[in-house]
Amino acid sequence: MQIRRRQFAVWALGAPLLQQLSLASQAAAQPWPAQALTVVVPFAPGGSVDVAARLVMPRLAERLGQPVIIENMVGASGTIATQRVIKARPDGYTLLFGVASSVLVAPMISPAKFRYDGLHELKPVAPVASSVFALVARPGLAAGSADDLIELARQKPGRLTLGTDGIGTSLHLTGELIQQMSGIDLVHVPYRSGPQVLTELAGSQIDLAVLPVALAQPFVLEGKVKALGVTSRQRLATLPQTPSFSETPALRNLEVEAWQGLLAPAHTDARIVKRLADEIAVLQADLEMARKLTEAGFKPMRMGHPQFLAYLEQEKRVLENTIRKANIRTD
């Protein structure tokens, strides 16, 4: 059979897509789930994203009647794990426990390195939980509140250090927002993980950090670090002595909630996505599950698949604006 060069090129480019659609069709023809699921967590064990996954995934396993295996895949701010799931078979057995930094942000700040579109190459299933962030300080820093910090930072421009879990992560972008809104200049110190940042802060190796409340809360309660403010609209019941940024005039419009959610390869059958979303909704309505999430510094985040997709599209636009103003690029 003779194939013209142009015809062959079109066929070759379309072959991976046809293969993915074929695999998705085959998966849909089988009873699902018929085997264990793997949920890829893009950060190290013990971090806030891992904690949320390990709270919820065992209950999801009970609902599905199959084991759910958590696979921690660390590296490149979560992009290695994200790309692993993008390339996985769309059969509902490999899912991403994703966050904004790897799904949305990485391709914005490093488009030459991360050539994927998280909203087109992944299918958002449902958010699982959300968490707010805390601005925390080393014990000996001469600031007891966000207002104190702003005054101190203006006296020492470019001299105070701010640790986060990497360049372009949600924590980094929140730190940039704090600086943009308050007019201060901090030196960003990127680390490989949130737990590493917290350890360095408690040891006074850096001055400040932006961290998930779920991660920082035990150290704050034990007096190992100081919490200067949280990104929620109101104070948290678990940290009642820590002000909300809404109480700080320069930061009163800063409100950040970071989502953690399930995403599947783009061509996963819609019936599998709906089943997963429905089961997550049942878990979020469970009072005991809600209590455990709250105690750990999270709260249930209830959205169906269409609402979750619209939420991520809106968040992407906000993040693009922040990244442009901060001129964050790693290429």
Q: Give every residue of the chain whose pLDDT is below 50, as ranges.
A: 1-13, 15, 27-28
Alpha helices in 203-304 (DSSP H): 213-221, 270-284, 287-295
Residues 6+ apart with CB under 8 A from 106: 76, 77, 78, 79, 82, 114, 168
Ramachandran quadrant class, 215 (left: phi over 0; alpha: psi -120 to 50; beta: rest): alpha
What sections of 73-207 are H helices per DSSP?
79-86, 100, 106-109, 118-121, 146-155, 170-182, 194-202
5-130+257-326 belongs to CATH 3.40.190.150: yes
- Give the pLDDT score at 1: 30
DSSP character at residue 243: P
For residue 156, what are its two tokens? 């020492």
Phi, psi of 277 (to 5 degrees): -60, -40
Burial annotation 309-327 (CB, 10 A radius, 16+ → b, else e): eebbeebbeebeebbeebe
Tell me the pLDDT tens digit for each residue of 237-252. 889 999 999 999 999 9
Residue bearing tokens 């030459």: 112
Confidence at residue 20, expressed as pLDDT on a 0 to 100 scale: 53
What is the DSSP-derived secondary structure letter of residue 78?
Answer: G
Residue 4 has a pLDDT of: 39
Please give the structure tokens belonging to residue 182.
């308050």
CATH superfamily of the domain spanning 132-251: Periplasmic binding protein-like II (3.40.190.10)
For the chain, what are the domain ranges?
5-130+257-326, 132-251
pLDDT of residue 8: 36
Give the Cα separation of 323 and 327 in Å (integer).
6
Q: Write the DSSP symbol of residue 298.
A: E
pLDDT for residue 234: 92
CA dist., res. 109 & res. 93, Å (int): 30
Could you tell me the pTM of the whole model?
0.80
Equal fold, 5-130+257-326 vs 132-251: yes
DSSP state, residue 102: I
